[in-house]
Structures are given as C-alpha cells and as structure tokens.
Structure 1
Amino acid sequence: MRKFWGVFLVVCCPLVLLGQRKNTVIQAPKKTVATSTSEWSLGVSTSTNSGIFGGVQFRKPWGTKENKNFVGLEAAILNDYREFTSPYTYNGRSHKDGKLNQLIAIRPAFGRQWTLLQKSSEGGQKLMGLFSTGPSIGLQKPYYVEISYDNGGQATAEVPYAKTLDNTYKKVIIMGESSVLKGLNESVIVPGWHVKTAVNMEIETLKQNNIGIEIGFVVDYFTKPIDILNLTAGRQVYTTGYISFSMGKNTK
C-alpha cells in the first residue's frame, strides 16, 4: 500500500504542477486612461533683436491628447539691427547712439503643439514642435537717456534722446540710458501681426513641475514703419531668432 501511494505521488505531482504551469495566464498591464490636465508655463527669453533680456512669455495649453492647442501672451523688445552702442561711456554706463525710439511688441497668440518625442512613464524629457500666430501690438516709445547739462551750473535729467540733438539743453553729456520702462506712458501704438515657430524641450522635475528650453523664430509685421534710428528709414518687418527658459506645472 505504501508503495502504491509512493508511485501515485511520483506520477501525479509532476502532472499537477505541469497543469498549473500550463494554465497560468500572464496578464498584460492595464492601459491607463488619460485624464484631463491643465498646464501652464512662464519664462524669459533672449533674442537676436535684444540684449541679454529679450522679454517674458506665458503659455497655457489644454486637452488630454498629445497634440494640444494653446494660448499665449508675450512681451518682447525689438531692436533695429543697424543700431550700435556708443563708444563713449560715462562711468561704465552706455547708450545706443542715434536711437530715437524703442519698440516693445505685445503678442497675444493662439497656437498648436505637437509631441515629437514622448517622455517615459517614469518621467524624463519631452520634445515638442510649436506653431502660433496672432496680433502684434507695437509700443513705439521714446528712447530715454540720462544727461548732464549746463543750466548755470551742472544738472542732470532723464530726457528723450531726440532732445539731445536740438538746442533744448546746453553742453549735453550723455551719462547712460534710462530704464526700458521710462516714457512708456508716451508710447504710440502700432498694430501688426506675427507668426512664430519653435521647438521646445520639456524636462519634468519633482511634484509635477517642469522646466523648458525653447528655440524658435518669429516674424513681426507692422502696419507702418517704426522709426527707431535718427536719419535712418524705419522698417515694417522684423525677424527674430530667440531662446527662452521657462518653468511650469502640470496638474491632474
């Protein structure tokens, strides 16, 4: 009897194990259902038509798909490629020689972004292509400089550069340029339109935050020439290459 149970165990146990192994089903991982996300980003830029600081931008895409629409708002400084910094400085301060006006472009935009390279489920980098268009609201404001002049003694003042070219002030010495916002209330609005294309690399960080690096190209067209330099014809079309650095947040 013992021999019978021994043979039974030797024969049946492998068959039972084999049957269990054969019936084992490996289930595929369940697909996650996309949920609505709200994203935004805020950044600063530098461009070929500005100094180190070129402007600020805000963008908000929406939707659950990889290719999304977005709205944006940007303020950018546009210089004329023919302007140059004066070789004469005062205490290390500089100014643009012959510059009459400064141009700031406000760009509301509507656009579309396409995912070119998706990041993994564990995070990482995401590469996107972007295209947007919208109005360009040009603010043509006087270019202000700080001067030292003779009024019976030495005095200083912040005045439009154009005032240094006439006889309003005597024995003028330009000490340096004023703040970019000086004279903003004297701006003349020049409407226009812009088109932008760019490539953006987004890097996910902690707690659904992300940082982005964007390289792109913008064309601005204004309804009339913008007079920026003295004795130089103004332009209606400005082309700009830029690079921007942004921070944003994704919320589910």
Structure 2
Amino acid sequence: MNLLSHERYCSEIVAQAELLRSSIEGADLTVPVPSCPGWNVGQLLRHLGGAHRWAEAIVRTRAAEPLSGERFRDLSAYTHEDPAVVGPWLTEGAALLADTLRAAGPDARLWTPVPGGTSAFYARRFTHETAIHRADATLALGAEFTLDEEVALDAVDEWMELGSLPMHFDVHPWTRELLGPGRTLHFHATGTAPGTAAEWLVDLTGDTLAWRRAHEKAAVAVRGPLTELLLIIYKRRRPVGGGDIEVLGDAKLLDFWLERVSFG
C-alpha cells in the first residue's frame, strides 16, 4: 500500500530534483560515484534526467509497450558536464514528468515493467529513483544525505514490494536460492517519530518471497536510523556493524539477500 498520495509523489519528484540541483552548484561533476560504478556525477544526472523524460513519454502517450531508444544508458559522451547546464535540464525533465503524471491521474492504463499497468507506478517509482540518485550524487560529493521520514518509509516499502515480486523467479531464476528454512531478516529503523511503525520482516521460509511490517525475531536483524537502513537496502551503504548500524545474527544471510534481490 502506498503511503503517499499521487499528488505528493508528483511534488516529490520535483522537490528531489531541485534538492539535487542545489547540491551540485559549483561542484566538480567529474567526481566518480562509488554506488554507480563507471559513472561520474555528471553522467548520473544525465541518466536520471533521461529516465524522467522516458517515463514522461510513456505516461503521455499511454504506451502499451516499452518505448524503444531509452536515452542516457550510454553515458560516454557526458563525462564533463557543467552544473549550470545539466542542473536546469534535470529539473525541467522532473517538472515535465510531474505535470504529465498529474494530468494522467494515478489510474491511467499503460505499460509498466511490473504487474499493475497504471501511471501510479511511475509516480512512486520516480519519486524514489530521484531520491536515491540524489543520495548517490550527494554522498559522492562528500555531503550528508537526508530524506523526509514519510518518503523514506515509503521507499523501503516499495523496495520490499518490488523485491518480492513472483516475476523474479522467471526473470532471475537464481532468486529461488534465497528460499530456505529459518531464513528471515528483520529491519528496525530507530529515531522515527513517536508511534511510527518502522520495522520490516523479510520471510524467505516458504515458497515465495514475502515481507511484512512486523516486530519479530529473525535469523538476522539490522537496526539503525531510517535513512541509513534505506541506503543499505538499496545497496548504497555496506551493512557494516558499529556506529549507527547494528547487525545481529546471521550477517551472511543479509549479504546473500542484498546480493540476490534487485530491481531494474
């Protein structure tokens, strides 16, 4: 279940892009992005802006199949980007996508890469795609990444949902190797607002990949600030115990789950 409204997702796509633009002002965009090997910050921005425009075209045309010629996968031509050029270009694409999503509403029928087939998928996905790539750029430039609590909670939920889709067994057969007796993972976010449910249980003990919001014992537990947990789950941080992150139990199971669960 989505935690945010369709309008909030549309607004967040723009807000996250604006925050990203402000973080690169005067920056050296040739700095490598460790969480996106082979890209520098400028190339990352081109990838994200191209993805915004690709999604906008799908929603605007109500595409019944994936559009060919998705741009900015080959980023070899974008090694020396100027913040004064790429920043406005990025926010322009984000605003265009948000406007198109607003006009479509959440229930427009169109192609999506996962079951569902509505524009709501792109509103949610590109909220979190933009936020996580903002984290990639922010951390690469040596700055601190923060994220609104509601957005971060929904981002974790979305990743859990995407990572548990049955289609993974067909697309990535090795995902089945995750299943086994006693294989459970618990994620517990600390420092959230009073009364906020911020715990997730990943259950790999049955015939399917499953998850739920729950406080339960598990083979491995990861405890720490919400944003740090988000970055670990999205494989932007290593789940190293110590500091603000605590890993209890079967750390190898955690590494195995992170290795095998992905989307995209």
Q: TM-score range by the shorter chain?
A: under 0.3
The higher radius of gyration belongs to 1
The structure whose residues are more often strand, as a share, is: 1
The normalised TM-score by structure 1 is: 0.23
